[in-house]
Amino acid sequence: MEALPQNRPMFEAAPEQRPDSEPIVYEQPLNERMRAFMRLEFLWQQLSYHAGVATPWSSRAAVAGLLEILAITSRGDARGDVLKELERQMSALRDYQNRPGVDAARLRAVLAALMRRREELNAAGANFMQKLRESEFLNAIKHRSAIPGGTCEFDLPDFYHWLSLDADAREADLAAWIATIRPLCESISELLWITRENARPSEESAPGGSFQIVFERDRPVQLLRITLPGGSRLYPEVSGSHHRSSLRFLRWNSVHSRPVQANEDVSFVLAICY
């Protein structure tokens, strides 16, 4: 494990715009747990961004993100999966404690952060989302959301009234809802950060725009990260499983024409996250 960066914020919102010079990272999860975690991370970023913007349209988008988080976490045991992954990562990090070249102070800080996440999730209890799931206000919006345009003014006058309230009132309600799901979502953000940081990127070349990866059978792969230069007109298409994967680099033309596979050798950076 390489030295960990200092002063990392626990939550980073996605940038609104990406300079052409900044590399673009494409990620592909390789198991169902990682897919769920990445979807929740994406929705958490969306919810956090819109909750901080004092307009009715952003409040509407924040509620939509919250409802999608509730929908994903209603399938299976998200809290249990996060607790298991926290334990797995803490066990892996402890193995690094006595290795040379490791930033011991930073490692202790990361372990402490993971233990704090575990304590927060345990304290929340197994039914910590039940109050949100039983909210008549949120359930009415959820049911109407299945209909295209179903959350407009005449369909949900109570939602429309809430959106017309003072921004401080809406923000207070959003803050209460966010506080309920924060232990889960921030734990997922922390776990995904560690998963990404533990990978060792390597420079690769895809002959004729294709690249094959065979994974070690005794090391389950969680995530692939493919980095291309900013401004590139190429993007990767990933297929496969946790045993092997294929990358195919496609050339973007426009929204009016289909992409075509690159026929030249493509240089990229690959990170395999365990």
| Domain range 32-197, CATH architecture | Orthogonal Bundle (1.10)
Per DSSP (E only), the strands in the chain are: 24-29, 202-206, 210-214, 223-228, 234-240, 244-251, 260-261, 266-273
The pLDDT of residue 3: 41
Q: Could you give the 3-state DSSP secondary structure of residue 211?
A: strand
- pLDDT (average), residues 102-120: 91
- Please determine, for residue 222, whether its predicted confidence score (pLDDT) is greater than 70: yes
**Model confidence band, residue 98 (pLDDT cutoffs 50, 70, 90):** confident
pTM over 0.85, yes/no:
yes
Answer yes or no: are the C-beta atoms of 59 and 50 closer than 8 Å: yes
What residues contact 16, with CB distance under 8 A and at least 6 apart?
none
**Model confidence band, residue 96 (pLDDT cutoffs 50, 70, 90):** confident
Delimiting residues of CATH 2.60.440.10 domain(s) in the chain = 202-273
The pLDDT of residue 2: 42
- Please determine, for residue 236, whether its predicted confidence score (pLDDT) is greater than 90: yes
Phi, psi values for residue 167, rounded to 5°: -55, -35
Tell me the C-alpha distance between 253 and 234, whole Å.
9
Residue with tokens 């990767």: 236
The pLDDT of residue 92: 87
Delimiting residues of CATH 1.10.3900.10 domain(s) in the chain = 32-197
The pLDDT of residue 240: 81
Per-residue pLDDT reduced to its tens digit, 24-77: 999 999 999 999 999 999 999 999 999 999 999 999 999 999 999 999 999 889
- Please determine, for residue 19, whether its predicted confidence score (pLDDT) is greater than 70: no
Q: Does 193 or 101 have the greater pLDDT score?
A: 193
Instruction: Give me the DSSP letters along 35-53.
Output: HHHHHHHHHHHHHHHHHTS
Tell me the C-alpha distance between 159 and 251, whole Å.
44
- pLDDT (average), residues 130-157: 95
The pLDDT of residue 14: 47
The pLDDT of residue 105: 87
CATH number of 202-273: 2.60.440.10
The pLDDT of residue 63: 98
Tell me the C-alpha distance between 144 and 45, whole Å.
24
